Amino acid sequence: MEGWKEGLRDDRGDVPGWVLITLMTAGLVATIWALAGPALGDMFITALESVTGG
């Protein structure tokens, strides 16, 4: 009965792969958003002005 407890102890501290993928993706999105956000905002405003005639 004690054998299954030892198996659980071996996994302590391990981070599942999906957690790492989620954190890395969030980091990439935040970095890209910080770098390209102002340029994308300007492009969006220009596109709206060209459609609305403003």
Question: What is the pLDDT, as a whole number, of residue 19?
Answer: 92
Report the pLDDT value the prediction gives residue 15, as an integer from 0 to 100. 79
Closest CA to 22 of 14, 10, 30: 30
pLDDT attached to residue 14: 77
What does the pLDDT read at residue 49?
Answer: 94
Q: What is the structure's pLDDT at 5? A: 59
CA count, 13 A, side-chain hemisphere, 1: 0
pLDDT tens figures, 1-49? 555 555 555 666 777 899 999 999 999 999 999 999 999 999 999 999 9
pLDDT attached to residue 3? 57
Quick one: tokens of 42?
A: 């300007």
